[in-house]
Amino acid sequence: MNHKRPDILLIQVDQLHSRALKAYGGISDTPNIDSLFARGVAFESVTVQCPLCQPSRASLWSGIYPHRTEVLSNGRKWPCPVFTERLPTLGEVFTQGGYKTIHFGKRHDSGALRGFELVEEDETFVPDENPAWPYNFDTYNDQYATDRAVEFFSSNADDKPLLAVVDLINPHNICGWVGKNKGEHHDVPVDTLPPLPPNFTFGDISNRSRSIQYICCAHIRQAQASLWNGENFRHYLAAYNHYLHLVDRQIGRVLDTLKQRGKLDDTIIVFFSDHGDALAARASVTKHTAMYQELVEIPLVFCGGGIQGRKKMVGGLVQSLDLAPTLCEIAGLPIPASFDGMSLIPSLEEGHAPKREYAVSQWHTEWGYTVEPCRMIRTQKWKYLHYLEDDFEELFDLESDPYEMTNVAQDSENAEVLVYHKGLFKRYLKETGDPYLSLVAKADKRWREHEVGYDKHSGITAPEA
């Protein structure tokens, strides 16, 4: 009976916003990722539950919101608990359901990958191909993880159905690239430079929360980019696209192995990311605090195993939390009552939007040096944000202002919209038991001092204190 259950391969990458990919209008050189979109059914708007690695991943693998996992940061001065034994994980559901589960590559899960056989994490050196784009442990980890995954897929003869995760880190090597190019500098010349995004210039910063105004004081990468000019940001985008191309090559090796074994068509492959990247929007790099589309919206595609939807790109609001129940339904396994998401199977098959009124994302802190709790409530047209610091609100019209250039929360013509979204926000807090309003924001005066603007940044950032 087990033999009828499909093999499933999850491919996760780190720090990929959907707009970077061709399937979502981008200019990436990613033929292997593109092939998944060509064969499959994708979702247009997928929100991660926190735009930061560890909270996002813990939420994904446990199927519950970050405030329930209690994994709210990447660690250091805000340590995270090991994911509770009292709640099931995706890995456990599949293991108990008769699947072989195996995970290669990056974890950063605070224990939520429990139930998976975890292949050790290590590095294999990869020489730089171009001095403009130096490699670090992110790229070395991906080489090691892909080598192990290729070995496994080349020889796996297990009778059980398979749930495998190939968890790759690139294009995250871009974070190290920022460090190598910090401050005023001359870039190593490259052949072509991508254009800056329409929202590169950020004229509305005085109308944003203080945590947004002072990302440069809380986040080392934004501080390192504070003196960059437009040309430097174009080099950032070129480097980003290169690291994205690198991870695409690794994905190609895995897909080729499945093809050689005659398993490519029968395996259900799901591709996604843990969060996005600023992509030079608002003269910003990597990710921190902000809930902009570049940071909270990720690609998501399902292909193979006979998945054939009525539409290639499905609209509506999806959350990364939806992945866990969807996978359970694909495998014919019971969906645990604790899971917060909804199965996407009806939308995959019929092409209609999931029945969801709003999507949520949460922020607490990256390393505990500044603590800036924030919640995002996004409906199809609008995005409402609440920051605990100063009880500050932002509202964006995503239809007329998809690049979030203007915060219209104070505009009297939007008063009704604001009231409606505040109502959704309160309902969300109540229904999910999110203790947001009892949390405490913490930002030392030193991190709120200089004139507003990332280019005005001076001195050290919080993590250097």
Alpha helices in 135-229 (DSSP H): 137-155, 173-180, 210-213, 215-218, 220-224
Listed in sequence order, the residues at least 6 apart from 86 whose beta carbon sits closer than 8 Å to its beta carbon are none
Query: Whole-number minimum distance, CB 453 to Zn ion, in Å?
Result: 9
Mapping DSSP to helix (H, G, I), strand (E, B) and coil, where does residue 160 land? Answer: coil
Of the ranges 150-158, 161-169, 282-290, 457-465, which one interacts with Zn ion (CB under 5 A)?
457-465
Residues numbered 153 to 172 that lie near Zn ion (CB under 5 A) are none
Residue linked to tokens 């290729």: 150
Pick the closer one to Zn ion by CB: 158 or 449: 449
CB closer to Zn ion out of 227 and 424: 227
Closest CA to 172 of 57, 335, 311, 47: 57
CB of 273 within 8 A of CB of 298?
A: yes
Identify the CA nearest to 185 among candidates 221, 218, 231: 231
Select 82 or 460, whichever has its Cβ closest to Zn ion.
460
Tell me how far, at minimum, the Cβ of 282 lies from Zn ion, in Å: 14
Task: State the Cα angle at 13 between 8 and 17, rounded to 5°.
Answer: 120
Footprint on residues 198-237 left by Zn ion (CB under 5 A)? 216-217
Region 330-349 residues binding Zn ion, contact defined as CB under 5 A:
none
Tell me whether strands 268-273 and 8-13 are parallel, antiparallel or unpaired: parallel
Report the residue number, 216 or 237, with the smaller CB distance to Zn ion.
216
Only one of the segments 360-368, 388-396, 418-426, 451-459 lies at the binding site for Zn ion (rule: CB under 5 A); that segment is: 451-459
Q: How far is the CB of 463 from Zn ion (least distance, A)?
A: 12
- Closest to 26 in 3D by CA, of 250, 224, 234, 299: 299
Q: Which CB, 383 or 457, lies closer to Zn ion?
A: 457
CB nearer to Zn ion: give 15 or 222: 222
| Min CB(407)–Zn ion separation in Å | 20
| Among the residue ranges 95-103, 157-165, 228-236, 454-462, the one whose residues contact Zn ion (CB under 5 A) | 454-462
Tell me: does residue 457 bind Zn ion (CB under 5 A).
yes
Beta-sheet pairing, 100-105 with 117-118: parallel
Tell me the closest approach of the beta carbon of residue 455 to Zn ion, in angstroms.
10
**Contact criterion met (CB below 8 Å) for 290 and 279:** no
Among candidate residues 424, 317, 321, the one with its CA nearest the CA of residue 375? 424
Question: Judged by CB under 5 A, how many residues of this single chain contact Zn ion?
Answer: 3
Q: Which stretch binds Zn ion (CB under 5 A): 6-14, 75-83, 282-290, 453-461?
A: 453-461
Q: Which is nearer to Zn ion, 437 or 460 (CB)?
A: 460
**Beta carbon nearer to Zn ion, 48 or 216:** 216
Q: How near is the Cβ of 277 to Zn ion at its closest, in Å?
A: 20
> Which ranges constitute the DSSP H helices of 287-414?
293-296, 323-331, 345-350
What's the Cα-to-Cα distance from 130 to each of 126, 134, 174, 252, rounded to whole Å? Answer: 12, 7, 14, 21
What is the closest distance, in whole angstroms, from the C-beta atom of residue 288 to Zn ion in the complex?
Answer: 12
Distance of CA 189 to the CA centre of its chain: 30
**CB 213, min distance to Zn ion, A:** 8
By beta-carbon proximity to Zn ion, the closer residue of 42 and 441 is: 441
- Our separate counts of H helices and E strands in the chain read 14, 13
What residues contact 140, with CB distance under 8 A and at least 6 apart? Answer: 123, 124, 125, 126
Stretch touching Zn ion by CB under 5 A, among 11-19, 247-255, 369-377, 449-457: 449-457
Residues 90-149 that bind Zn ion (CB under 5 A): none
Compute the least distance from the CB of residue 429 to Zn ion, in Å: 31
CB of 294 to Zn ion, least distance (A): 20
Is the Cβ of residue 208 or residue 242 nearer to Zn ion in the bound state?
208
Query: For residues 375 and 364, is the Cβ–Cβ distance under 8 A?
Result: no
User: Contact between 288 and Zn ion (CB under 5 A)?
Assistant: no
Q: Which residues bind Zn ion (CB under 5 A)?
A: 216-217, 457
